[in-house]
Structure 1
Amino acid sequence: MPLLTLTSDFGMQDYLVGAVKGRLLQQNPGFTLVDVSHTISPFNYPQAAYVCRNAIKQFPSHTFHLLLINLYEKKPEQLLLAWHQEQYILCADNGLLTMILEDKPEMIIGLPLDPKAIKNTLYLTQVMGEAVQQLHAGARLQDIGMPDVPFIEKNHLRPLFGENWMEGQIIFIDHFENIVVNITREQFEEHRKGRPFRIVFKRNEIIDKIAESYADVAEGEKLALFNAAGYLEIAINKGNAAGLFGLQGFSEQAQHLQSRLFYQTVKIMFG
């Protein structure tokens, strides 16, 4: 039976997560549904991309990933169904897809929407479920929608680099209030070139070693490590790093009547 993951920005306070699952199980009681997260921060594309990217790669090939995130950035005219590295991804046409993949998908189709339908969340879920059903029944990708449709592309949030420094943005704060920065171990080592380093963040806090686990430092001490997804993480052993250091990720502020997105940064100095 098809394996479907669900990721959304719905939260867990109301009926919607349960209703989405109910609608999918009406279509096929044999669907296996796996929750990734329903607490993605609204409009926070870098956080959504980080969560989805690092969950998707762990699933068996031919898993269907339903991303019910920022479905209404614009009036929906199509949904996207992508095939990439042996995974199916279904999402709104809002730019999130290329942020997750950090590339263009290998194959993509547009799933048409009924112009007469009320395009609420349950209807969009139904369209995704119907596409999964058709593919599971043996239909070819190009036969259930419009191949190679134009779609919105957005770039993923990249760190900045100088000769002797690099700067990343805080993209995620986990349940323990550990801070995840958009710098991978590969990027760090490539730019470091074996040099000493200092990780500098708010209030002139400095870390100059990479730990392998939280237990490498005493209780209450700060540390930096690369997490299971390979991203730089700043933490306090049995403490609350985000709260104690006054750090936060995504925030939205209005300036001159325009919404601008702000991220706190972490800088690494080399040499």
Structure 2
Amino acid sequence: MAIITLTTDFGEKDHFAGAIKGAIYKEIENVVVVDISHTVDPFNIQEAAYIIQNAYKSFPDGSIHIIGVDSELTPENKHIAVFLNNHYFICADNGIVSILATEFNPEKIVEINIHDRVESIFPALDIFAKVAAHIARGGTLEVIGKLIKGIKPVKELAPLINNEQNQISGSVIYIDNYGNVITNITRKLFDTVRKGRDFELYARNHQFTVIHNKYSDAINFNIEKSRREDDGKKLAVFNSGGFIEIAVYRSNLNTVGGASTLLGLRYRDTVTIKFL
């Protein structure tokens, strides 16, 4: 049975997400529709890419992923369907796939060309759902689009390495539900540039000299619990997606706060690592 996932910026209040599910089931009943997220910040393709990048690999090969973020059809925002790493992605050519393709090159890309057959002002409902159902029925990409070679690149949030190879300048790309701040600096890039050197990580006025492998590594469990000052401890960690994350141990935005609030970090803020 085919799996179709949904990642959108539609939120939970409106009818949009439910309507897409209905449209998919209307096209093909023998399918499973899974919500990944509907709370992507509006039009934030970097955030959408981070969420789908860390979710899609948990699904079986052949899964179909609809990304309804910044998806209005314009001369500069074509609709595409992509086969990448044994998964299908249906979205606008707005840079999302180029972010997903940093690890794997797309095996096939088509520009969707069924718009003349479908009247649409809501692409994720009218176009993406039909394309997903077509793929779920075993249809090929060439039937719903024309083969193209390139996709729109997004380089503005890529980490920068200086000429001396002793500094990485990255950016905040995502803030999670706990207020943890995720950067675009991967563990792979960090290890490649570091070459065993000591380092200092700067996020606004805060400095870190250790990056932990898990949150609890920042806590000294040999100290009596009442003296540890666990909650609210600031730390840097390699998260489950392989990115450097600035976090607060056992954070809660309603009590102790999170890294985003306590450190004053926001989307696109700079995070710098200096190698000594």
Q: 1:229 aligns with which of 241, 253, 266?
A: 241
SS at match of 1:10: coil
1:242 maps to a residue whose letter is S
Change (3 A) 1:78 1:196: closer
Change (3 A) 1:215 1:114: closer
1:247 maps to a residue whose letter is L
Question: What residue is the counterpart of 2:74 in the other structure?
Answer: 74
Give per-residue Cα distances to partners, 1:20-46, cap 9 Å, x unaligned: 111111111222011111111122222
In the TM superposition, residue 228 of structure 1 has moved relative to its aligned partner by 0.5
1: CA distance, partners of 2:248 / 2:61: 36
1: CA distance, partners of 2:97 / 2:155: 10
Question: What residue is the counterpart of 1:188 in the other structure?
Answer: 190
SS at match of 2:58: coil
Question: What residue is the counterpart of 2:140 in the other structure?
Answer: 140
Contact map agreement 1:110 1:149 (CA 8 A) in 2: no
Change (3 A) 1:44 1:131: closer
Contact map agreement 1:173 1:179 (CA 8 A) in 2: yes
TM-score normalized by structure 1? 0.86
Change (3 A) 1:97 1:156: farther
In the TM superposition, residue 243 of structure 1 has moved relative to its aligned partner by 0.3
Deviation larger for 137-146 or 174-183 = 137-146
Q: 2:201 aligns with which of 199, 202, 209?
A: 199
Contact map agreement 1:47 1:171 (CA 8 A) in 2: yes
Contact map agreement 1:166 1:269 (CA 8 A) in 2: yes
Question: What residue is the counterpart of 1:30 in the other structure?
Answer: 30
1: CA distance, partners of 2:111 / 2:5: 20
Give per-residue Cα distances to partners, 1:100-135, cap 9 Å, x unaligned: 2236522111221334754222x5434333333333
2:207 maps to a residue whose letter is I
Whether 2:263 is the aligned partner of 1:245: answer: yes
2: CA distance, partners of 1:167 / 1:156: 12
Deviation larger for 129-138 or 171-180 = 129-138
Question: What residue is the counterpart of 1:165 in the other structure?
Answer: 167
Contact map agreement 1:66 1:89 (CA 8 A) in 2: yes
Q: 2:270 aligns with which of 256, 260, 265?
A: 265
2:11 maps to a residue whose letter is G
1:11 maps to a residue whose letter is G
In the TM superposition, residue 202 of structure 1 has moved relative to its aligned partner by 1.2
1:110 maps to a residue whose letter is E
2:161 maps to a residue whose letter is F
Question: What residue is the counterpart of 2:8 in the other structure?
Answer: 8
2: CA distance, partners of 1:98 / 1:165: 25
> Any gaps of 5 or more consecutive residues in structure 1?
250-262
1:30 maps to a residue whose letter is N
Change (3 A) 1:192 1:264: same
Structure that is richer in strand per residue: 1
Change (3 A) 1:73 1:156: farther
Change (3 A) 1:229 1:150: closer
